[in-house]
Amino acid sequence: MNLLLFIMVLIVSFIIVRIGAIAFQLTGLEWSLAKFQALSCFTATGFTTREAELITATPQRRRIASILIILGHAGLVTMIATFANSLRPPVIKLAFLPDFVSPNFMPWINLTIIAVAIYIIYKIFTNSKFARRLTNVLRKRIVKREIIKSVSFEELAIATGGYGVSKVAVSAGSPILEKTLLRSELRKHDINVLAIVRREETIPNPSADMKILAGDELVCFGKLENIRKQLCSS
């Protein structure tokens, strides 16, 4: 029973970390960073000062991080307890054991099963095809149930003084939609558009008369707080 519980907790832990990564991505983090931060929160390790700022910057990310930390501690305690109990020899001889197998060998059998289970589960969840399918299924469920409010904002880098490079998707309700870069007055808010990603084409260093269309992604440099206010408030 303890062995089965350990394996179940291990599988659930992988799924929770994946859900946490998806949740962080929906709040605007880049995918690789979202995966790392979800794992960091769940295991309470791996934080750096600048990356921690991305988590503490918004209430929604703080809630996600808090849930991951709580679940991570609960899962760790459960796995330690079940692992320890799995290595204890049974008090009575189990009916399914052959006569030539001593109960004292059960901890070694359980340890072997745990090692094999960890290897198999790790291989399954790190398989690119399986991970992609699982991620898509979980993301659809999260978005459909509106568990996490998705934002069209992706912070790509943090620089000193609150400045950084960001990629923002232009939605239908954006105040800069159908305006040229000049009329958008982004420069007045200390926001420089470095490039526009339109469908599969990247337009570097766009001119001032370039019109902003729905679905465009603006790669901007500026103060991240200003970018959030001017481009992500809608």
C-beta separation of 138 from 22 below 8 A: yes
What integer pLDDT is reported at residue 46 of this predicted model?
67
Query: Do 190 and 104 have their domain in common?
Result: no
| DSSP for residue 101 | S
Asked if residue 86 and residue 41 are part of one domain, the reply reads: yes
Same domain, 105 and 221: no
Of the three residues 96, 113, 144, the one that is the final residue of a domain is 144
Asked if 15 and 91 sit in the same domain, the reply is yes
pLDDT-derived band of residue 49, with 50, 70 and 90 as boundaries? low
Same domain, 160 and 137: no
- Written as six digits, the tokens of 93 are 């001889």
User: Based on the domain organization, do 120 and 171 belong to the same domain?
Assistant: no
Q: Which domain holds residue 104?
A: 2-144
Domain tally, the chain? 2
CA distance 232 to 173: 10
pLDDT at 13: 93
Task: List pLDDT tens digits, range 82-96.
Answer: 888 877 765 444 454
The whole model's pTM is what?
A: 0.60
Boundary residue ending a domain (91, 117, 144) = 144
Q: Which long-range contacts (CB under 8 A, 24 or more apart) does 3-10 make?
A: 3/82, 3/86, 3/110, 3/113, 3/114, 5/78, 5/82, 6/79, 6/82, 6/83, 6/86, 6/114, 6/117, 7/114, 7/117, 7/121, 9/75, 9/78, 9/79, 9/82, 10/79, 10/117, 10/118, 10/121
Q: In the predicted model, is pLDDT for residue 106 greater than 50?
A: yes
State the average pLDDT for the chain. 81
Instruction: For residue 67, give the amino acid letter.
Output: I
